[in-house]
Chain A
Amino acid sequence: MEIDGRRLAILAAITLVQAVLFYDETAVSLTFLFGIGIGIWLRSWSAVGWALGSFLIAFALAAVTGWLEPLRIWELIFGAGLALLGALIGAGIFLLVPRGAGAEAGERVARTG
């Protein structure tokens, strides 16, 4: 996959925004929205890795700066799960739906001869 400077800059910005949002510990859940966004943006399964990586770096930044006091391992586990699931949904919709649509078109052609 091509990794250009613009893409890395956007991902870095997303990571920083997440880290700042994690000042409120319930906001770790918002990583799901970022995951969906990254999935829709990249439209590739690699989005899962980028979303997960972005979350882990953001979480580490927030933990080091003390924003995530008290630090809870559950937040890390659930946040990682949500980033992963969000990216799977965001990318999966674009990767799986067109295949399904194609199958439907094929079915129609077959039925109408």
Chain B
Amino acid sequence: MHDTFVAPPGWGWDIVLYFFFGGIAGGAYFLASLLRLVGRRADRPLSRIGYGLALPLLLACTIFLIKDLGRPERFWHMVFQSERFPNLMFKWWSPISFGTWIVMLFGLFSFISFLAALAEGGVWRAPAGGRLAARLHDPGSPLGVVFLVVACIWGLLLTAYTGVLVMTTNTPTWSHDPLLPATHMAIAVPAAAAAIFLIARLTGAGDPVGRERVLRTGVLALAFGLILILAGAVHQYGGVSPFFLGAWAFLFWAVILPFGIVVPLVLLFFAAFRGRELVRDAPVVGAVLLLFGALLFRVLEVLGGQDYFIPY
């Protein structure tokens, strides 16, 4: 371990789960909107799974974040100015304030999409508001295209901003690593693809072609993520990083990298691009391993990232 005088931020499981599920929420929203934009009508059930995941997971993330504050009753100070209520609180130079508004607006987007998914699936009989939400998700109309493009971008923003948040903590482990936002994005999208694929497979939603497309997107993002993670490890070499710290190094090199990234990448690549199953039910095995790998990577990042020695 290394000496430093910077105290760790004191993050626990709340933030581990926030990064993991927030990433899946953003990634699922991105994939769902992308499926609407460039997919077939037959892909809509898969898109609805993405929208069905995004809002409830964001609600859970809100609880994680508020719980982590220590004084949960003051959470509204993040949104409103306490001295001049109801003026809104927005500090463009603060990553936390910026992130709060990314999450808030994502909440609005994902709420509209959630309603549209319920109405389209016949789960909810939509009044006028539901019909407007449905029109916003129609890729055949200019309004729908604009909404879906912005929705794609906003989903990715949610996955990436947590990387900015970690960068700006000034902890010696991750601070000022310029690859972190892209790495967060590249971990979140494949995890979301795995979640959508597994749910579709278990419920019979969508068709095999659509599920394969979701997996392909996940495989490409995961390959990009692997490059970024390895580049990050090289970048951190010789510094204070859980990639090279005791038990955390073992977790990364012996568990996460081989079984959470490389094996699922190989299994899913052959299944989705070559039509070959290297093991029985390879897409399911790959997707499950990928989800565990993504969760363990967040554990390594958050808990391992604070495990350095402070000499006082």
Chain A contacts to B: CB under 8 angstroms = 24-30, 32-33, 74-75, 78, 81-82, 85-86, 88-89, 92-94, 96-104, 106, 108
A28 to chain B, nearest CB (A): 8
Q: Which residues of B contact A106 (CB under 8 A)?
A: 122
Q: In the complex, are the beta carbons of A93 and B203 less than 8 A apart?
A: yes
Q: In the complex, are the beta carbons of A29 and B41 less than 8 A apart?
A: no
- Tell me if B12 counts as interface (CB < 8 A to partner A): yes
B199 to chain A, nearest CB (A): 5
A40 to chain B, nearest CB (A): 8
Across chains A and B, the number of contacting residue pairs, with CB separation under 8 Å, is 98
Q: In the complex, are the beta carbons of B45 and A104 less than 8 A apart?
A: yes
Q: Which residues of B contact A99 (CB under 8 A)?
A: 121-123
Chain B contacts to A: CB under 8 angstroms = 12-14, 17, 21, 41-42, 44-45, 48-49, 52-53, 56-57, 59-60, 63-64, 66-68, 72, 117-118, 120-123, 199-200, 202-206
Give CA–CA (A29, B59) in the complex, Å.
Answer: 13
Determine chain A's interface SS by DSSP, over half rule. Answer: helix
Q: In the complex, are the beta carbons of A86 and B60 less than 8 A apart?
A: yes
A67 to chain B, nearest CB (A): 15
Q: In the complex, are the beta carbons of A32 and B60 less than 8 A apart?
A: yes
Q: In the complex, are the beta carbons of A82 and B117 less than 8 A apart?
A: no
Give CA–CA (A34, B21) in the complex, Å.
Answer: 14
Give CA–CA (A100, B45) in the complex, Å.
Answer: 7
User: Whose C-beta in chain A lies nearest to the C-beta of B67?
Assistant: A78
Give CA–CA (A104, B44) in the complex, Å.
Answer: 8
Give CA–CA (A99, B119) in the complex, Å.
Answer: 11
Give CA–CA (A85, B234) in the complex, Å.
Answer: 40
Q: Which residues of A contact B122 (CB under 8 A)?
A: 99-100, 102-103, 106
- Ranked nearest first, the 5 interchain pairs of A and B with the lowest CB-CB distance are A100-B121, A26-B12, A103-B122, A101-B205, A26-B13
Listed by A's residue number, 30 A-B pairs whose Cβ atoms lie within 8 Å are A24-B12, A24-B13, A26-B68, A28-B67, A29-B13, A29-B64, A29-B67, A30-B13, A30-B17, A32-B17, A74-B72, A75-B67, A78-B66, A78-B72, A85-B60, A86-B60, A88-B56, A93-B49, A93-B199, A94-B203, A96-B52, A98-B204, A99-B121, A99-B122, A100-B120, A100-B122, A101-B205, A103-B120, A104-B42, A104-B44
Known: A81-B63, A96-B123, A100-B120. 5 other contacts (CB 8 A): A85-B59, A93-B49, A94-B203, A101-B205, A104-B42
Q: Which residues of A contact B56 (CB under 8 A)?
A: 85, 88-89, 92
Q: Which residues of A contact B12 (CB under 8 A)?
A: 24-27, 29
Give CA–CA (A89, B55) in the complex, Å.
Answer: 10
Q: Which residues of B contact A33 (CB under 8 A)?
A: 17
Q: Which residues of A contact B64 (CB under 8 A)?
A: 29
User: Whose C-beta in chain B lies nearest to the C-beta of A33?
Assistant: B17
Q: A24-B13, A27-B13, A29-B13 are in contact. Are A97 and B203 (CB under 8 A)?
A: yes
Partner of B49, one of A30, A32, A75, A97: A97
A52 to chain B, nearest CB (A): 14
Partner of A98, one of B17, B72, B205: B205
Q: Which residues of B contact A85 (CB under 8 A)?
A: 56, 59-60, 63
Give CA–CA (A85, B121) in the complex, Å.
Answer: 21
User: Whose C-beta in chain A lies nearest to the C-beta of B21?
Assistant: A32
Q: Which residues of B contact A101 (CB under 8 A)?
A: 45, 121, 203-206
Give CA–CA (A108, B44) in the complex, Å.
Answer: 11
Q: Which residues of B contact A108 (CB under 8 A)?
A: 41-42
